[in-house]
Amino acid sequence: MRAGADGGGCFPTGRHYPGIAHLVKLAVRGLASEFDSETRVRDLPLVSIDTETTGRDSSVDRIVEIACVIWSQGEVQARHSWLINPERPIPMEAKAVHGIGDEDVRDKPVFAGVALEIARVLRGSLPLAYNADFDKGFLQAEFARAGVRIEELPPAMRHDVHWVDPLDWARELHKAEKSKSLGDVCERLGIDIGQAHRATDDAEAAAKVMGIFLGDSRVPQTYAAFIQRNPICISLPKQTSKTLWTI
């Protein structure tokens, strides 16, 4: 639903409506409490995450590689990656995608062995991933299995925090194009993806895609408005006829 499309007066923030900005902030679900809702997305510290796995089902399959690329102010600040021993054979169909075989991870740590290290890298940044539900599902499933004690959960590990997902915007901004895959979107945008289907290269490419998309006038710029990518109008108290967006 577009703001004002039906005359109802929906809007993404309370900036131009004095006295209701606090109500808008309360209405938005999925925000990480560490960040102000009116901060520009490009000013937020982002961690672009990519996982390579033994399959597609996070309840039974396991991570074999994970990368976390720290992105701020349109530039890569740091790259972190881990090869992970999944404690099971890597199927040939999975290896055909990412090229990681049993011999590559035989002497690598299991996820629980590096879980705290990964959590430290994730802390203080808003998570981003291309097709985020996939990576979010695997990351959180692995942490649950690891059973490690983490005093302060980073945003990426909290179920109520919405991840930034460039695929959401590719579906809108490139809707005339048949493919919305990361590789094809990168090709259209002139981004060199490097070695596709390896975690670090895919994570960095996803961050670069989002950086370009943020330069499009159709993409909301502030954190709260950006997260409201599928707005639903809800009623305000009776003393005003205005409405709010929520997700």
Residues forming the active site: 197
Cite the beta strand spans of 84-230 per DSSP E.
126-128
Half-sphere exposure of 65 (CA within 13 A, CB side): 23
Model pLDDT for residues 147-161, shown as the tens digit of each residue: 988 888 999 999 999
Say if residue 53's pLDDT is above 50: yes
Residue 108 and residue 22 share a domain: no
Pairing of strands 63-72, 46-53: antiparallel
Distance of CA 133 to the CA centre of its chain: 8
Contact predicate 46/68, CB 8 Å: no
Is the residue at 114 inside a domain?
Answer: yes
Residue 49 and residue 136 share a domain: yes
Residue 232 and residue 200 share a domain: no
Residue 44 and residue 81 share a domain: yes
Is the residue at 49 inside a domain?
Answer: yes
Residue 237 and residue 157 share a domain: no
Contact predicate 202/46, CB 8 Å: no
Q: Cα separation of 157 and 2, whole Å?
A: 31
Model pLDDT for residues 84-118, shown as the tens digit of each residue: 999 999 999 999 999 999 999 999 999 999 999 99
Q: What is the pTM of this model?
A: 0.82
Q: Provide the 3-class DSSP secondary structure of residue 212.
A: helix
Residue 197 and residue 96 share a domain: yes
Is the residue at 67 inside a domain?
Answer: yes
Residue 239 and residue 133 share a domain: no
Q: Could you please report the per-residue DSSP string of 53-104?
A: ESSS-TTT--EEEEEEEEEETTEEEEEEEEE---SSPPPHHHHHHH---HHH
Contact predicate 122/163, CB 8 Å: no
Residue 114 and residue 8 share a domain: no
Amino acid at 197: H
For residues 135 and 12, which has the higher predicted lDDT (pLDDT)?
A: 135
Under the phi-then-psi rule, with left for phi > 0, alpha for psi from -120 to 50, and beta for the rest, what region is 224? Answer: alpha
Range of the domain at 246: 1-28+228-247
Residues 6+ apart with CB under 8 A from 27: 234, 244, 245, 246
When pLDDT is averaged across residues 37-42 and rounded to a whole number, the result is 95
Say if residue 219's pLDDT is above 70: yes
Residue 216 and residue 242 share a domain: no
pLDDT at 27: 65
Give the CATH number of the domain where residue 127 resides.
3.30.420.10
Q: Which two tokens stand for residue 128?
A: 């981003």
Residue 202 and residue 235 share a domain: no
Phi, psi of 128 (to 5 degrees): -135, 140
Residue 9 and residue 127 share a domain: no
Query: How many domains does the chain fold into?
Result: 2
